[in-house]
Structure 1
Amino acid sequence: MRDLVAGIRARITVIATVVVIAVLGAAAIALATTQRSVLTDSVDEVLTRHAAEILQSWPYSAVDATIPGQGDDESFALLSDPGGKLLASTASPPELRTPPQPAAGSVTYTTVSDPSTGIQFRVRSERAGELVVQVGTPLDDVNDSVDALARGLAVSVPVTAALLALTVWFLVGRVLHPVEAIRAQVADIQGDTLDRRVPEPRTRDEIGRLAATMNGMLDRVQDASVRQRRFVDDASHELRTPLARIRTELEIDLAHPETADAARTTQRVLSEVLGLQQLVDDLLAMARSDRESEPPSATPVDLDDIVFTVVDSLRASHPDVTIRTAGVSAARTYGSRAQLARVVTNVLDNARIHGRAPIDVTLHEHEERVVLTVTDSGPGIRPADAERVFNRFVRLDDARTPSASNTGLGLSIVRSILTVHRGTIAIDTTHAPGASFVVTLPLCRD
């Protein structure tokens, strides 16, 4: 990012400098052109007055046919007839290639040069009746003034552009300084220092929003990293225990084959394998729920159909468990049918494993929510554990009946799925005896 910041700084400086040079250069050309035009127009006015004075003073005496000058030794005036015969002139007029005579009643302005001296003259030619008057004056003052302006601009424009480049370089560096600070901080963040954050400037501009966004991203990365490490640690711990029991059973039989009971060992290993299978299924479900942070499609789902389907399946696999569904009424919500079926299954399994029959299931609509309640008649849950029971790998074995099929993930998976579905799950601590789990979901009225 350091190269990126330096590149941005250089590009902005170069672009700003080029633009300013182009603008100032165009302004300088326009200024010099305007000055020349204004000064030339002033010269033309002087020549117009001089020509008018010559025509008013005509005819001159035959003895002296010299036209009085303008007070400028290099200015000149020529008076001739349409045929080109010189009638009068100022003393010692320059040797110029005078422009052609104008048409009757017309006036022309031209710029000619003296080939011997190189001096430029502004010449006004006018035909008034049978007279042609041509007056001219050197453009030295005009050229000197424009040249002086051009020399000044030739110095001031580069100097101004250089000062601007330095100013832009400094200001852009100040503006991008927080970006460099962000870059340096991000470069130092490693996998074990995800708790560090980039500095946020006090300004609420784009850089401030960039820093806030990056800190938000770091929050999410840290949260994901913590959850991943916790998941790996918990999963490895939970998988190690049943594997250790399986290994112990097999090693004992190998060490003492005379006392080994193959049927008993097979039954115990099968029980552990089934527990491992359930744990792996729950771990995969938990991993999927961690990845799925976007809400599911707004597909209407008949939650009562899911409840009856799950209850029928549970009755078929556990005919000794009494599940009462008299309080289940029609209700619809939004989401994934498969995931919502997992929610109902896990909550009912939790009541079956840890509670005692009968299990009462109710479903009804309340305001803009669908409320599912699963109540058992077991030992219940202490209010102090009402929130902790939803954590991963938590087992309240001292308060509820332990079971080999309990992985400690079922209720955590339920909460993860419901969070994505904009739903909730909580324990009604006022219910006794037994535990009462209350699930709420958005109501669908389509």
Structure 2
Amino acid sequence: MTDTISTAPGSTPPGSTPPGQAIRRPDFRGAHLAKRYARERRFRLLGIASVAAAGVILLILLGSIVSKGYSAFWQHEVALDIVFSAEVLNPDGGPVEQETLQRANYLELVRDALKRAFPDAAEDRRDRRMLYGLVSPNADLRLRDMVLNDPSLIGTTQTVAIKMSDDMDTFAKGFIDRDLPEGDRRVKDKEIGWYDQLDSEGRVNAVFNVDFFTTGDSREPEEAGIYGALIGSILTLTVTLLVSFPVGVMAAAYLEEFAPKNRFTDIIEVNINNLAAVPSIVFGLLGLAVFLNFFGLPRSAPLAGGLVLALMTLPTIIIAARSALKAVPPSIREAALGLGASRLQVVTHHVLPLAMPGILTGTIIGMAQALGETAPLLMIGMVAFIVDIPQSFTDPATVLPVQVYIWADSPERAFVERTSAAIMVLLGFLVLMNAVAVLLRKRFERRW
């Protein structure tokens, strides 16, 4: 017996749609769109969070560097009354000669001025040693240059600004807390008392540290500068550019425009791409084996360093140049060939000029990468302590990244701030080079 559902006349059976009413189905399309938009919003938020996190980390890094290095751009000096005694500068009493003045004991003049300023400290040997430590150990060099330039200073008394030592300069900048116990700080109570007396007399002044940009490296932090490393970087990058740019552009032009597409050229292309990812220290080992041991180039010279960096930069320039050549429309080549130009004329007169903005951009980026490299240069000896300013491509030299590496290994607080200041200068050069690359691209870029 089967159950049936009876309905009254005019009623609607269960599960059926009343007459004249549309069937309502679930809106699967609207739900799918809502989920897709929600995923897009989440992805956008993740992207914004990633950019914000990267920006915060960058700000923390830059803030740390600037907070440690900004103080290196000024130096404290103390004004001392220097008596240019003829007995010290010209003890023989004869005619004043340059050779005699160069050998004179100028440090004695500085120490005499300190003892006159603090006669009580002159009685004790230990106090005298601390007293002499108020000024830079190389303070005599400034007096020597003054006398050599103007021998008429002999026999006169002049007020001369002398650089303070690294510890006293650090104390004057506020990086040494005077409230600490004497045994916990490098500056002793007597030195603080002498400094306070000189400061109250208006003899201590903070001046812009010009020598940081005009002198070479030094064992004394207050005398150390980046000029030697800067000149070494310029000479090294000059060699790198002169070698890598023409070789890289010609290799890219041959591979892209002339070379047949076969297995041999495929192997070359694969190796070029692989060389772009090789660790930079491998190029340093190659330079050590080939340029120094085999060819006998001078060690720690911009010539050897530039050749090593040129090898490292070549893959980057070749890849960038090939991409720029590919971006030139084929219609340019076809039109030139149709007018009777040879393949070489097509490339040199039309393709290369149109691709040059991209080539220059890749070259500048490659040079910026070479400017920041340290590992390959360490392998060829450019980590040496270089005081003199290099004058040629074969003189011993160092570069800015290696100078940062050398200073970072020094324990003095004054070298810490100079390390950070050198990093700031290096970052400035990198930003400048990348800005030049952007400007060149915008200046010469053509839209097809």
TM-score, structure 2 as length reference:
0.19
TM-score, structure 1 as length reference:
0.19
Considering Cα pairs closer than 8 Å and 6+ residues apart, tell me whether 1 or 2 has the greater RCO.
Answer: 2
Larger helix proportion of the pair: 2
Larger strand proportion of the pair: 1
